[in-house]
């Protein structure tokens, strides 16, 4: 489908934001199921210790694109060029330029309030929602209900907004189930940005690779451990990965 590169033992597709949007735009509600994952630093730190089913969910994604400027810059230090496709930017392009009036969008996750706002912002779209219970990772019955809802929705696009790695695992189970069609995107908190519940960092901050600091300042209690305690492990991971690739 596209050229790809390996970084930290994960395959990344070398597609631009516009190219990914075009690829989605060529697909409809009857297309064979495909799903997109957008790993960032947090994802890769957790993947290093994740069980096999989580790693397989990322590995088997139809498209895997880099969500993080920090990750892309770290990759560059090893001579690896990751094409940047921020997940929130992809979600915005999807709603603004790819989806057409009358298209059905299936949203798994988020909140009823955010979905109501999303319908107000994009009244031309047919947006249906299923809100699974907490503990989706350990609740096979809840995952089965989510998959059945997505299958019945027959949507052009399915948005999985239940957090990582639940959303990636759910996408993988949808593929294995065989009933869901169209394109699924693992979008995390993108709905919050689309409806304005949360504000993204200014473009100048994003381009500087400091969006993580903006988010930390906005939600210190929720994100401090992720960014300040767990996240720095990425530096050692990159060092060890590069060292392992050097000729003996």
What tens digit of pLDDT does each residue of 188-218 get? 888 888 888 877 767 887 887 778 777 778 8
pLDDT tens, 85-123?
999 999 999 999 999 999 999 999 998 899 999 999 999
Answer whether residue 248 is part of any domain: no
Q: Is the pLDDT of residue 1 over 60?
A: no
Q: Of all residues in the chain, what percent are helix, strand and coil, respectively (each to 5)?
A: 50, 15, 35
Answer whether residue 247 is part of any domain: no
Reported pTM = 0.92
Answer whether residue 221 is part of any domain: yes
pLDDT tens, 52-62?
999 999 999 99
Answer whether residue 71 is part of any domain: yes
Instruction: Give the ranges where 26-111 is alpha helix by DSSP (H).
Output: 41-47, 52-59, 69-76, 87-93
Answer whether residue 185 is part of any domain: yes
Answer whether residue 246 is part of any domain: no
pLDDT at position 32: 97
pLDDT at position 23: 97
Q: Where are the beta strands (DSSP E) in the chain?
A: 4-7, 10-13, 34-37, 63-64, 104-109, 126-130, 157-161, 183-186
Host domain of residue 207: 4-192+201-240
Q: Label residue 226 by pLDDT band (50, 70, 90).
A: confident
Structural domain count of the chain? 1
Answer whether residue 44 is part of any domain: yes
Distances (CA, A) of 166 to 137, 173, 182: 6, 10, 19
């Amino acid at each position: 489908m596209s050229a790809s590169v390996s970084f930290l033992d994960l395959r990344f597709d070398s597609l631009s934001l516009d190219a990914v949007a075009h690829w989605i735009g060529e697909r409809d509600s009857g297309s064979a199921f495909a799903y997109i994952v957008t790993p960032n630093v947090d994802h890769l730190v957790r993947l290093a210790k994740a069980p096999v089913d989580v790693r397989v969910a990322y590995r088997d994604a139809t498209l895997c694109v880099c969500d993080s400027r920090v990750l892309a810059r770290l990759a560059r230090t090893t001579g690896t060029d990751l094409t940047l496709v921020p997940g929130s930017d992809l979600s915005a392009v999807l709603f603004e330029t790819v989806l057409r009036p009358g298209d059905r969008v299936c949203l798994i996750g988020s909140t009823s309030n955010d979905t109501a706002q999303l319908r107000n912002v994009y009244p031309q779209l047919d947006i249906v929602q299923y809100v699974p219970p907490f503990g989706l990772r350990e609740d096979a019955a809840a995952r089965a209900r989510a998959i059945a809802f997505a299958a019945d929705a027959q949507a052009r696009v399915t948005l999985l907004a239940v957090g990582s790695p639940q959303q990636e695992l759910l996408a993988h189970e949808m593929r294995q189930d065989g009933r869901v069609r169209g394109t699924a995107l693992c979008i995390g908190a993108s709905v919050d940005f689309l409806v304005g519940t949360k504000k993204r960092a200014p473009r100048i901050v994003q381009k500087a690779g400091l969006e993580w600091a903006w988010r930390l300042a906005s939600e210190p209690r929720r994100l401090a451990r992720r960014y300040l305690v767990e996240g720095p492990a990425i530096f050692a991971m990159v060092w060890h990965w590069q060292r392992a690739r050097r000729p003996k």
